[in-house]
Structure 1
Amino acid sequence: MTAEKQICLSICVCQLIAILSGVSLLYLAVIVIIPSKNELAMEFNETPIMCTTVEAKDLASGGKKEECKWSTCGEWCLSKGSGTCMQIHVMVRSNGSKVNFRDCVDIADDECSALDVNATHVKYCKKGQCKDLTGLYYCTTDGDNGCSEITPAFVCQSRKIQRESVLCDEKKCKERLNGVYSCKGGRCQHLEEIHKYWRDCERKCTKLEMRERNVVIFSTERLVATACWSMDSPDNNTSASIEAVSSSQEWRDKRQALFIFCTYVKKVTGKRTYDILTEDCFNATLGSADELKNLKDYMQLLRLHQSLGNRSEWVIPPEHTLRVMNNTQLRINPEGCVNTLRKECTAFFKTHAHDGFDGMTPDRYPCYFTDQSREYVIGKFDPRMTTTILLVATILPGCLFILACSCLFICSKSVGVDDEGHLRVTLLQGGGAGAVKEPVQFDELL
């Protein structure tokens, strides 16, 4: 490669870098730099508290044309006005108690649900809402071909399953779904022997064994029942009441049982026994073992727990006593949108958008608040990551832009054109308009 080609290539590369880095700075300023600065300026508390979803609705669904003044999460910040308008309202509260159950045996750990299928959220296949169906669904051919999920509460066994899958995409399903289907990623197979799920399918957790248990833990759609020797709490507010129950002979002899709700439950295996470590616990009360031992159904357990709270003292106070804010907006971040284009909002809604209207436990999760605004809380906050992204988005394209422009300026002062029209490095001789020619003498013209 000749020197002239090297000069041309260098100038072209510098121009390309300058243009790309300049455009990058403009876009990053809108989608990264300004939102990150605003988020850090809001001074959100780095220690999360807990949020419980109390209402979740999509203003853009069902043909509604309500004005979308804010949304919990949008997939692209430059076009927040299009697509869904999911609004999630939460009850913000302090963190619940930690309780450790020691030396536990005979643990029953089941997936149980109080799902009311008639009240659950329906996906309408003719509107393209069935493209991601996964689990068991009961579908009807009426109207827009609505499908309701029954996975949390029912187990359906069928020896006759449709071999060919019905494919559902973003427009609609290949054919109308009618009956009970087993789906995975929008591909559904008909369970042909199941005509009515409430008659032909088995409801989960209707054959429980509650004898010889003194601890019953409700955790989202999960039931943990066991017999423990002792328990303790590291929290000052609840340690006294928990230790009082732990030292009670009636509880140790399994004549009483502790009913409690905990968001997080972890089993630690020992040599012969287990320890159960729980966090964010509330609604703890004592019940009689005689009332518990004959119960076989999860729904009966829930009703017993509720009735105990109405007629006995709380060992750990109920959730509403921890309330900080009520009916507050939830946003994934202060902007209420993300720019990853990796269906981040879809994943966020799966764990944050269940409000419990269908009988299932509402979603509970950590959230972050700031004293500068009581209008909303955010679901994701990592100040270190935000600062890192802000620095990278600012420094990297900024340095490239300055470097490229500096190189172009130097080229304009050090590169010129000689008498034959070739590019030459003039080393700043005579500026950048070209190589300086020697003055022509008058006697040379003669």
Structure 2
Amino acid sequence: MGRKAKPLPIPEQDRRLCRIICLCQLTLVLSGVALVYLTVAIYMPSHRAFQSGIEPTPVTCHTVNTFMQTSYCDWASCGEWCLTRTAGFCPQIEVQVRRNGTQVRLEGCRPRRLVSIACPQVDPEALKKFNCNNGTECSALTGVFNCSLGHCANMSELYQCAPKADGIVVNSEHDNMKLNGFFSCYKSTCVKIKQVFYCTRYCPKISTTGVNVYLLYEDSVYTGECERAVALDKANGSEDPVPLADPAEFWRADNDSGVLMASCLAVSRHDTTLSATDCVNGSLVDQARVPKLFMNFTVLWSLYEQAERVADLGQWFAPQQSQLVIYNRTKLYINLEACVNTLQGECKQFLNTHGRDGDNHTAPSRFPCYYDKSDSSFVVARFDLRKTWRELLIAALVPSTLFLLSAATLCVITRSVTVGDDARMHCKYCGGGSPAGGEPVRTGPDDETDNEESPALGPGA
């Protein structure tokens, strides 16, 4: 029985040529896939943006209602992936759309009286939690608690509550599994709260001594003693505000002017002046109604809501919000597709920044938005035609150029490179048709075969 012939070795090819071919093939495939994906992610959304009819000039939106849909999600303000239908996380945000308010400047303010006081919102996740199922951890439970199967969160740390406890009495140390709902506890003796009760955040006191201006913004207030208030533009109802060549005075401090209160988007201090943007609901409150020395935020909010006098009778400066309304209630989308493709929790961040609806005396979210004059069913928070055009240009040029270059290179290689009888690639247009790279064929010990089947060549052959 004869010996089996060993397989012939594969000659070593030009590594540079192999790398070029592999790189071009990889680039061709990846750029082709990118073109298909970008059709859905960039090209189609860009076409819709250019044809949408949305006004490029932003207006102002106030969040009026936020709801987390848990069953059927017919629409969502933001979805985490545009290629699939939104499921699970389904925030629904409704807003009021209006024109921007007035730019206001308070002049002649006493620097020592200009103070910013904040009453930030409470994060429920920051409440201290007790596991009453764990030994004696709840042996001295005291305060108002929100419990679920023996796990209780201490609301008294961040809220001031005045509930009327009239339910069952539970010992938090021995009957811990009965702790379900709201309880008022004192040294482990907890009484269930059956009726609806209200809590307010712990906020610093507001000094009222010598103060005649209160500018509310977000969850803060800027207080001061100023001489007058001027406007830099004039409201025009549901149309764009009209800039003024010269600032117009609409309030001056005197004995009968009252205390000026307004709600603004942002307030900044410049030495003896306060500058505020998007100011609305300018109101005057009689000085006699303001508590002496100090008051809390609850009293401030109550005074502001019950103010009966407006700062400007003509409603040109710091007008009432109702005078500027475009759409009273509509849906808010993060963009025209109501979704993002980053997969980085962007929708949860959007809900935190745009989903505050003003419950429990908190400031509602106020932000720029974009609307369509012919469609009142929705507005979008993000709309920038320049950015859209820039992204479309990059998304179209880069993968298309790479695709064409790699395809052209492979075509040239197909025409100029052949495989010779020695199983090596030869370049037809390189140095007299020598093998690509010009390297000799290497052989090793395995290339030798039995003398009877394949005699070795002698030196003079």
Q: Normalised by the size of structure 1, how large is the TM-score?
A: 0.72
Q: Which residue is equivalent to 1:160?
A: none
Relative to structure 2, which stretch is displaced further, 378-387 or 394-403? 378-387
Residue of 183, 207, 210 corresponding to 1:209: 207
8 Å Cα contact 1:102/1:276 also seen in 2: yes
- Distance (Å, rounded) in 2 between the aligned partners of 1:376 and 1:244: 35
8 Å Cα contact 2:232/2:247 also seen in 1: no
The letter for the 2-side match of 1:355 is D
Q: Which residue is equivalent to 2:328?
A: 326
Shift in alpha-carbon separation, 1:415–1:224, aligned structure 2, 3 A: same
The letter for the 2-side match of 1:291 is R
Q: Which residue is equivalent to 2:46?
A: 36
Aligned ranges for residues 362-401 of structure 1 at < 5 Å?
Answer: 362-371=364-373, 373-401=375-403
- Distance (Å, rounded) in 1 between the aligned partners of 2:264 and 2:156: 24
Q: Which residue is equivalent to 2:298?
A: 299
Q: Which residue is equivalent to 2:276?
A: 278
Q: Which residue is equivalent to 1:243?
A: 249
Equivalent pairs, count: 367
Q: Which residue is equivalent to 1:141?
A: 147
Q: Which secondary structure does the structure 2 equivalent of 1:216 belong to? A: strand
Q: Which secondary structure does the structure 2 equivalent of 1:334 belong to? A: coil
Residue of 62, 67, 88 corresponding to 1:83: 88
The letter for the 1-side match of 2:285 is G
Query: How much has 1:313 moved relative to structure 2?
Result: 7.2
Identity %: 27
- Distance (Å, rounded) in 2 between the aligned partners of 1:234 and 1:398: 50
- Distance (Å, rounded) in 2 between the aligned partners of 1:140 and 1:293: 34
Deviations 1:143-169 (A, max 9, x none): 596869889867xxxxxxxxxxxxxxx
Query: How much has 1:8 moved relative to structure 2?
Result: 2.3
- Distance (Å, rounded) in 1 between the aligned partners of 2:40 and 2:227: 58
Q: Which residue is equivalent to 1:98?
A: 103
The letter for the 2-side match of 1:369 is Y
- Distance (Å, rounded) in 1 between the aligned partners of 2:14 and 2:150: 68
8 Å Cα contact 1:90/1:327 also seen in 2: yes
- Distance (Å, rounded) in 2 between the aligned partners of 1:111 and 1:385: 35
Residue of 116, 121, 132 corresponding to 1:109: 116
Q: Which secondary structure does the structure 2 equivalent of 1:81 belong to? A: coil
The letter for the 2-side match of 1:296 is M
Shift in alpha-carbon separation, 1:245–1:202, aligned structure 2, 3 A: closer
Shift in alpha-carbon separation, 1:208–1:372, aligned structure 2, 3 A: closer
- Distance (Å, rounded) in 2 between the aligned partners of 1:298 and 1:374: 36
Query: How much has 1:243 moved relative to structure 2?
Result: 1.8
Q: Normalised by the size of structure 2, how large is the TM-score?
A: 0.69
Q: Which residue is equivalent to 2:287?
A: 289
Query: How much has 1:49 moved relative to structure 2?
Result: 0.3
Relative to structure 2, which stretch is displaced further, 48-57 or 348-357? 348-357
Q: Which residue is equivalent to 1:405?
A: 407
8 Å Cα contact 1:139/1:146 also seen in 2: yes
Q: Which secondary structure does the structure 1 equivalent of 2:283 belong to? A: strand
Q: Which residue is equivalent to 1:233?
A: 231
Query: How much has 1:85 moved relative to structure 2?
Result: 0.9
The letter for the 1-side match of 2:381 is G
- Distance (Å, rounded) in 1 between the aligned partners of 2:398 and 2:367: 35
8 Å Cα contact 2:231/2:250 also seen in 1: no
- Distance (Å, rounded) in 2 between the aligned partners of 1:267 and 1:152: 30
8 Å Cα contact 1:370/1:377 also seen in 2: yes
Query: How much has 1:88 moved relative to structure 2?
Result: 0.5
Q: Does 1:27 align with 2:34?
A: no
Q: Which residue is equivalent to 1:170?
A: none
Deviations 1:375-402 (A, max 9, x none): 2111112222222221111111111111
8 Å Cα contact 1:49/1:95 also seen in 2: yes
Query: How much has 1:404 moved relative to structure 2?
Result: 0.8
Q: Which secondary structure does the structure 2 equivalent of 1:354 belong to? A: coil
Deviations 1:167-216 (A, max 9, x none): xxxxxxxxx9999xxxxxxxxxxxx99x99x99998313x3321211111
Query: How much has 1:42 moved relative to structure 2?
Result: 1.6
- Distance (Å, rounded) in 1 between the aligned partners of 2:91 and 2:48: 23
- Distance (Å, rounded) in 2 between the aligned partners of 1:20 and 1:70: 34
Q: Which secondary structure does the structure 1 equivalent of 2:116 belong to? A: strand
Residue of 38, 62, 67 corresponding to 1:52: 62
Residue of 60, 70, 78 corresponding to 1:73: 78
The letter for the 1-side match of 2:23 is V
Shift in alpha-carbon separation, 1:143–1:177, aligned structure 2, 3 A: closer
Q: Which secondary structure does the structure 1 equivalent of 2:306 belong to? A: helix
Query: How much has 1:365 moved relative to structure 2?
Result: 0.7
8 Å Cα contact 1:40/1:383 also seen in 2: yes
Deviations 1:68-111 (A, max 9, x none): 22211112212332231111111100001111001212123111
Aligned ranges for residues 113-192 of structure 1 at < 5 Å?
Answer: 140-142=146-148
Q: CA RMSD in A?
A: 4.0
Larger Rg: 2
8 Å Cα contact 2:104/2:230 also seen in 1: yes
Relative to structure 2, which stretch is displaced further, 84-93 or 232-241? 232-241
Query: How much has 1:334 moved relative to structure 2?
Result: 0.5
- Distance (Å, rounded) in 1 between the aligned partners of 2:306 and 2:200: 29
Q: Which residue is equivalent to 1:436?
A: none
Deviations 1:207-257 (A, max 9, x none): 3321211111121211221100222111134989962422x6336xxx621
Deviations 1:106-151 (A, max 9, x none): 12311137x7x9xx9899999xxxxxxxxxxx86332596869889
Shift in alpha-carbon separation, 1:362–1:146, aligned structure 2, 3 A: farther
The letter for the 1-side match of 2:380 is I
8 Å Cα contact 1:139/1:145 also seen in 2: no
In structure 1, runs of 5+ residues without a counterpart are 127-137, 155-175, 180-191, 429-446
Shift in alpha-carbon separation, 1:289–1:236, aligned structure 2, 3 A: same
8 Å Cα contact 1:123/1:146 also seen in 2: no
The letter for the 1-side match of 2:106 is F
Shift in alpha-carbon separation, 1:200–1:361, aligned structure 2, 3 A: closer
Shift in alpha-carbon separation, 1:8–1:371, aligned structure 2, 3 A: same
